[in-house]
Amino acid sequence: MRCGWWLIALPALVQAQQSVVAPVPPRVVPEAVEAGAPPAAAPADGDWSAYGRSNAAQRYSPLQSLDRDNVAALTLAWRYSLNDMPRDLKARWAPHTTPLKIGDALYLCSGRGSVIALDATTGEQRWRHDSALQADQFAGPATCRGVSFHESLGANRDGLCRERILAATADGRLRALDADTGRPCVEFGEQGVVTLPGHFSGPVSPPTLVRGVAVTRAGDSVAGISAATGRLLWRWQPEQEREQFAAEAVFSADEQLGLVYLPLARPAMLVAVDVTSGETRWRFRGVRDDVWGYGLSAQATLLPWRTPEGVVPALVLPTRQGDLFVLDRATGEPLVPVTQQQTPAAYAPDGVLPASQPVSEGLPGPRAALLREEDIGGVSPIDQLWCRIQFRRLVYQGRFTPPGPEPWLQYPGDMGGIDWGGVSFDPERELLVFNYNQVPMVGEIRDGVPYRTPWGEVDRLCLRPPHGGIMAVSTQAPALHWDRPLGRAGLPLPFGLSLPLPSDTGTPNQGGVLLTAGGLAFVAATTDNLIRALDTETGEELWRARLPAGGQATPISYAVNGRQYIALLAGGDYRLETPRGGELLVFSLPE
């Protein structure tokens, strides 16, 4: 028996010698954490303790001092400039940062990876941990979607780090900083830093904290790291070696089930992983043999779902095709019908493409309709004529038009549908609210790889508007509750100027929606550099404010001493060509 044990343990011992961080036995949990106790699982009413407010990723605040009747008086309370945009990163600048609010402090990161703590009432800087990263250390965009908060059971030998901030970097490191001082937590990894295995590329997302484990991307895998010590507990990789790996989305988690949900861009599937062992509990394929760039980019949102047998703990998985899959989060079984859509016959690098793809039929979503010639647009008669000529020349067979030797039209493109902003859920009104894109792409093969660009320019696409919208879906029926264009386009003028149109026509957008108990939906995301407050019940716009840069991020709401605030990082996005910047704007009612 002892001999058999050593044979089983030998591979793990070898791996420990080769790994950057030494693993512990895979089923060891670093701390005894009561289920439901961590802030990321159950935030205080006035806090925003995780990227989606909690690990359920509902992006819903129970605060209601702001409501339909008074939101028009919302005004800027304070602003803070991050001052962290190197000139050589401007071409890839897209911070996408969502702050955390814990107690009386805000915590956020810059696109470069600096971590900052601010007084949540005044915006005064409490500490700053600057990033030393240079442009050549970024293998992808200059994006830092947020940081994570962990409350440990004990302080280190210096009396620090009972409360700590965990922040990933673009060069594949995970840092632990004392939440009060910003000093490194020296017992975490090597002097407060863990170097993750593998080569890192893509946007930086905050680790997901569940049962004392920080779950984060690590090169071509996902790693479970002890939030207390920085020790590697497990690594998860796709079971089929031929499958390429990419994880761009933030993970969500169920503290009671002990599961973390990984939306993967490659392969395009959602995987539920046991946070204790790192083993796969179940998986759901969103796209088979994805050659369209339709990999999963949005966080799954956890919510209760009504069935004839009773309420089931569920999750909603949004996709770039505009589907909303509803799955039992314990088993992965669909709770609304999933059918198979026939797709054009074609070849992929690994063989023949599947004859069908899964489609959600039980929940309305912004699924792209088949394009017709009368749908083709342009900002001028000449643009319209040229776009229609192109439409007749491009290969187009619906949303699963396969890549081929001739240029092809792909609709929707790889920006969605629903992209990384995900969906938000109001549990009182039982409404899902989300923004979406309707942006066609033109594809061509370059050096053997499919390459896609918007059909036209971002502000003059070859498609009649709207090019983006915001939608509310009732989970009671389920049924469409309302749908409206989001964002106001402009007529292009010389010298880079534009003439705003008189009403919202719908623009491409990137970011998410904040919902509040006061019946409000806050959203920026659009190319017109505005933040808006809508009536959650009707979609009516109630308030707007001009931003100093593109608002491609998700707003949050928090409270200090009974006063409610709305915060948003205006940083811009190189892909949408919105103005670059780095200012945190915080709004509230006048005192």
Q: Which pLDDT band, with edges at 50, 70 and 90, does 138 fall under? A: confident
Q: Which pLDDT band, with edges at 50, 70 and 90, does 401 fall under? A: very high
Pick from 202, 199, 167: nearest CA to 184: 167
Nearby residues of 185 by Cβ (< 8 Å), 6 or more positions away: 156, 160, 161, 164, 176, 177, 178, 192
- HSE-CB for 434 with a 13 A CA cutoff: 33
CB 236 within 8 A of CB 210: no
Asked whether residue 5 carries a pLDDT value surpassing 60, the answer given is no
The distance of Cα 321 from the centroid of its chain, to the nearest Å, equals 16
In a domain, 11, yes or no: no
pLDDT tens-place string over residues 223-244: 999 999 999 999 998 876 556 7
Instruction: Give the lowest-confidence range in 174-183, 454-463, 577-586.
Output: 454-463
- Read off the pTM: 0.91
Instruction: Give the lowest-confidence range in 314-328, 413-427, 444-458, 475-489.
Output: 444-458
Q: Which pLDDT band, with edges at 50, 70 and 90, does 135 fall under? A: confident
Domain span at residue 123? Answer: 60-588
Asked whether residue 350 carries a pLDDT value surpassing 70, the answer given is no
Q: What is the largest CA-CA distance in the chain?
A: 81
pLDDT tens-place string over residues 75-133: 999 999 998 877 788 888 999 999 999 999 999 999 989 999 999 999 999 999 998 78
Nearby residues of 261 by Cβ (< 8 Å), 6 or more positions away: 251, 252, 253, 254, 270, 271, 272, 273, 300, 315, 329
In a domain, 313, yes or no: yes
In a domain, 53, yes or no: no
Asked whether residue 2 carries a pLDDT value surpassing 50, the answer given is no
CB 463 within 8 A of CB 483: no
In a domain, 3, yes or no: no
**Residue 269 forms beta bridges with which residues?**
285
Domain count, the chain: 1
Nearby residues of 8 by Cβ (< 8 Å), 6 or more positions away: none
- In Å, how far are 15, 363, 514 from 360, measured between CA atoms? 41, 7, 25
The SS3 of residue 6 is helix
Q: Which pLDDT band, with edges at 50, 70 and 90, does 253 fall under? A: very high
List of long-range contacts for 380-384, beta carbons under 8 Å, 24+ apart: 383/456, 383/460, 383/462
In a domain, 49, yes or no: no
3-state secondary structure 109-136: ECCCCCEEEEECCCCCEEEEECCCCCHH
In a domain, 126, yes or no: yes
Which CATH number does the domain housing residue 247 bear? 2.140.10.10
Helix (H) or strand (E) holding 390, with range, is helix 381-393
| Whole-number Å distance between alpha carbons of 444 and 408 | 7
In a domain, 4, yes or no: no
In a domain, 331, yes or no: yes
The string over 143-179, giving b where at least 16 C-beta atoms fall within 10 Å of a residue's C-beta and e elsewhere, is bbbbbbbbbbeeebeeebbbbbbbbbbbbbbbbbbbb
The SS3 of residue 443 is strand
